[in-house]
Amino acid sequence: MAPTLPSAAEAGPVAERIERHLLHTVGVEPSQASTRDLMAAVSQVARSELSRRWVAGDAADRAAKARRVYYLSMEFLIGRSLGNALAALQLGGPCAADLARHARSLEDVQSQEPDAALGNGGLGRLAACFLDSMATLGLPSYGYGIRYEFGMFAQTIQGGRQVEHPDPWLADGTPWEFPRPELAYPVRFGGWVERSESPESPPLWRHAGEVSAKAYDHVIPGHATQRVATLRLWRAAAPAHMDLQAFNSGDYARAAEYKNQFENISWVLYPNDSTPAGRELRLRQEYFFTSASLQDIVARHLAEHGQLTQLADHVAIHLNDTHPAIGVAELMRLLVDEHGFSWAPAWRITQRVFSYTNHTLMPEALETWPVALMQHVLPRHLEIIFRINHEFLLEAGAHRPGDADFLRRLSLVDEHGERRVRMAHLAIVGSHKVNGVSQLHSDLLVQTIFADFASLWPDRFTNLTNGVTPRRWLAQANPGLAALLDQRLGTGWRRDLGQLKQLLPLADDAGFRQAFRDVKLVNKQRLAALIHQTTGVVVNPAALFDVQVKRIHEYKRQLLNLLHAVTRYRAILAQPQADWQPRVVVFAGKAASSYHMAKQIIRLIHDVGRLVNGDPRIGDRLKVVFIPNYGVSVAEVIMPGADLSEQISTAGTEASGTGNMKLALNGALTIGTDDGANIEIRQNVGDDNIFIFGKLTHEVAAIRAAGYQPMRIYENNPQLKAVLDCIAAGLFSPEEPARYRPLVDSLLWGGDHYLLLADYEAYVATHARVDALFRDPEAWARKAIANVAGMGPFSADRTIAEYAERVWNVAPQAR
C-alpha cells in the first residue's frame, strides 16, 4: 500500500499546486513521486506564474508600442533555471516546506535539472546576467540566440586528457521553453545574384538552399518586479524531413542526408573550425540566428507600427561580439531587397538601430571570413558589404586625402594574402555606438586596434564595464553569506548592490568577522566535497583554496599558475621542516576542441596533480586539482568556497572578466595583473585589499618592442630554470619524458608571447605575501569583507542601466 502524505490542502496553496502538477502534468501519484518528478512539478508551478506575468507584460508593451532592446548573442549560458525562478517569485520557502513532506530537500530537487548548455564561458554568462537585469529593471527586451541541441560539449578527463562528449541537455525536455510553432522564418544560403533589368529594382538572390528557423521562447524572470524578459532561441529545421523516395528505395543514409545537412546548424555550439566544413558551418550558424532574429524584429515592428521608416525610433539591436555582425548586411538586404527602400535611407536606419560590444583586444581573435567562403554561402551579403565598404572608404578618404595606408587599415576587406571580410569593422561602421567592457579595455580600443575608427568618429566609442547579477552569484550561490547580509543590511542589496558599502565598518566587528568566517568554512566544506566527488582527491577545508576557473587559454595563463605550483612543490621537498601554509590549487575550465596547446596545459595540470597529490612527503601542504566539466552549476559551488581568485592574464589582453567579480563578491581576495576589470576592482576595494603583480600594459608593449628574450630570464633565474627543466625532462610524465618539451620550448624558443617568464618572479613573490596574510585569519577576514563591500559597482543592473540610457535609449516600463 502506498504511503500517504500529509494533506496538501493543509500544507498550503503552493503544496496544492505542486500536487496538482504531479497528478495532471507529470502523471504520477504524489506519494510515489521521484526527485525528478518533483523537480518537474515544482518547475511547472513556477512556469505557470512566470507565464502569467510574461503574457501581461508583452501585452502592455504592445499596447504602449514600447521601444525595445534586442540582444543578439551566440551564447546564453543560463545554467539551471529553477532556483532563479523560485527566488524571483519568492517561492523558495513554500516549495522547500512542501518538498519536506516528500522527504526531499529543495537543493536535491534543483540538482535534477541539467544546465542549459547554451554557452561556453564569460561571453554567454554575461549575456545571461544581462537578460536578468533587463527584466529586473523593467526594460522591454528580447534576447536572441540558437537553441543548441547539444550546446557546448561535456568535458570528461581520461588519462589526464580532455575528452569531449555531446551534452544532450534537451534529451528529456525542459519546462522552461515555450515552442512557437506559428513562428518560422526562411533562412537561405548559397546560389548567385541576378541583376535586374530595371535600375530601380534590387538584385535578385537566387539561393541554393533554405532552412526554416523555428522559435522557442524561454522566460527570464525579473526580481522584485512583475517583468519577464524573453529569450527567443532558433532551431534549424529542414523544409522536408527526409527524401521519402530514397527511404522507400532502401537508401536510408541518403534519405536523412538532406535533413541533417540543414538541421546540424543548431546542433552544437562552436563546431570545430579547424576544417573547411567546420568553418562553413560556423558561418551558417551565425547568419542563421541573425537572419531569423532580424526577420522576427521586422515582423513585430510592422505588426505594431505598419511601416519601417520609423524602425530606429522603436528598435535597438545590440551585437554581443562579432558573431551577429552579419546582421548589418542582413538588415540592409531586408530593407532594400524585401521592403523597397533605397540605399541611403536604409543605411541611415541601420546605423541608428545597431550598437556593438567588442570583447577582445587581440587582433588575432577578431573574427574574419574569407571572401571566397562568404561568396559561396552568402553571395548577396558579400555584395552589400562591398558597397558599404566602398561608400565608407570614400567618406574616410575625405578625412585623410591621399593616405592609402589609412584606408587599407580601415577597409572592411583585408587585402593582405587571402582576402577576408573583417566582421568587427563591419560592426563598427554599421553601428552608432561601440563599447568596450572595462575602462582599460575601452581606452585601449581607441588607442590601438580601432584607433583609426576613433579618429573618424570619436563620439562613437564608449565604455560600459561589465557586471554580474547579485541574485545568481550571491543570493543563490551563497545562501549563507546572503543570510548574513540580510541580517545586517536588509534585503535591498539584491536590487541595489551599492548597499554593500555599508559592510565596510563591520570589518572591524569581531563578531561579524567570525560569522563571515563561519560562512566561508561551510562553503569550503561544500567545495571540498565537490572536489572529492569529481576527482577523488581529499582536501582539507582549512587550507587556502587558490582558485583559477575560466576557459583554458594561453593568455589567461593557467600555465603560470601551474609553474608556481611546481615551484611550491619543489620548495616543500627542499625544506620539509618549514612552516608551509597548506594550499589547494583548484583549476576548472574547458579548452576549445581544436586548441592543442590548451589541451596540453590541462594534461600537465593532471600530471602535476598526480605526482603532488600522491607524494607522501607533501601531505596536505599542497594539492593540485582539476574539476571537470566546468559550468554554471559547478561555478555556483566554487565561487563561494574560494579564498584566492587567480586573475593573471597578461596585462592588456583581458577585456574585462566577470569571474573576478563573482569571486570577489563572494569574499575571495584577488591575485592578478593590472588588467581588464581587475583595475576597477582594485580602485573599489582598495590597493591594500588586493594582490596586484606583474608588468603593466605599457611595460608589456615596451618589452615586446625592445625584442623580448625569455631565454635570458630563464638563464638568470635558477628557481625558474629548475621548474622548466623538470617539466621538460619528464618529471611529471615519466612514461613519456618528452611530452611537455614542446610546451616548454614555446616559452623559451617560441617567444613566450604572453610573458609568463617576465612575470614569474613577481608572481611567486606575491604568493609569499598571500601566505603571510592567510596565516592571520582576522586580517584576511577584514580584507575579504572589504572586497564584498567594494563590489557594489559590479552589478549587471548598473551596467544595463547605463546601456539603456547611453546606448539603447530604452526606458523601463512600469509593472
User: What's the length of the chain?
Assistant: 815
Distance in angstroms (rounded) separating the CA atoms of residues 796 and 497 = 10
Query: In a 3-state reduction of DSSP, which class is residue 355?
Result: strand
Distance in angstroms (rounded) separating the CA atoms of residues 647 and 386 = 41
Distance in angstroms (rounded) separating the CA atoms of residues 70 and 144 = 7
DSSP letters of 566-581? HHHHHHHHH-TTS-PP
Distance in angstroms (rounded) separating the CA atoms of residues 318 and 72 = 6
Is 550 an active-site residue? yes
Distance in angstroms (rounded) separating the CA atoms of residues 449 and 445 = 6
Instruction: Residue 371: count other Cβ atoms within 10 Å of its Cβ.
Output: 18
Distances (CA, A) of 195 to 206, 278, 650, 799: 11, 31, 51, 46
> One of 17, 125, 282, 550 is an active-site residue; which one?
550
Helix H, strand E, coil C: the string for 129-185 is: HHHHHHHHCCCCEEEEEECCCCECCEEEEECCEEEEECCCCCCCCCCCEEEEEEEEE
Measure the N-to-C terminal CA separation of the chain; round to a whole number of Å.
49
Supply angle C-alpha 676, 680, 681, rounded to 5.
Answer: 100
> One of 380, 381, 551, 603 is an active-site residue; which one?
551
Query: In a 3-state reduction of DSSP, which class is residue 379?
Result: helix
Q: 97 and 344 in contact (C-beta within 8 Å)?
A: no
Is 65 an active-site residue? no
Rounded to the nearest 5°, which phi and psi values hold at 536? 80, 0
> One of 662, 682, 695, 767 is an active-site residue; which one?
662
Closest CA to 329 of 350, 348, 359: 350
Q: Which residue has the cell 569529481?
A: 534
Distance in angstroms (rounded) separating the CA atoms of residues 77 and 151 = 10
Q: Which residue has the cell 525528478?
A: 36
C-alpha cell of residue 39: 523537480
DSSP conformation class of 115: P
User: What's the order of all strands across the beta sheet hosting 644-647?
Assistant: 622-627, 583-588, 544-549, 644-647, 669-672, 691-692
Rounded to the nearest 5°, which phi and psi values hold at 532? -65, -40
> One of 359, 420, 441, 524 is an active-site residue; which one?
359
CA 99 to the chain's CA centroid: 33
Amino acid at 55: V
Distance in angstroms (rounded) separating the CA atoms of residues 580 and 578 = 6
Residue 531 falls in which region: left (phi positive, over 0), alpha (psi -120 to 50) or beta = alpha
Query: In a 3-state reduction of DSSP, which class is residue 102?
Result: coil
DSSP letters of 272-324? -TTSHHHHHHHHHHHHHHHHHHHHHHHHHHHHHHS-STTHHHHEEEEEESSTT
Query: In a 3-state reduction of DSSP, which class is residue 326?
Result: coil
Closest CA to 658 of 797, 789, 468, 791: 468
> One of 314, 422, 520, 556 is an active-site residue; which one?
556
Q: Which residue has the cell 541611415?
A: 348
Is 214 an active-site residue? no
Q: Which residue has the cell 557546448?
A: 152
- Which residues is 625 bridged to in the sheet? 586
Is 520 an active-site residue? no
Q: Which residue has the cell 577576514?
A: 781
Q: 671 and 664 in contact (C-beta within 8 Å)?
A: no
Is 147 an active-site residue? no
Query: In a 3-state reduction of DSSP, which class is residue 807?
Result: helix
Q: 320 and 72 in contact (C-beta within 8 Å)?
A: yes
Is 658 an active-site residue? yes
| Residues identified as active-site | 359, 550-551, 556, 658, 662
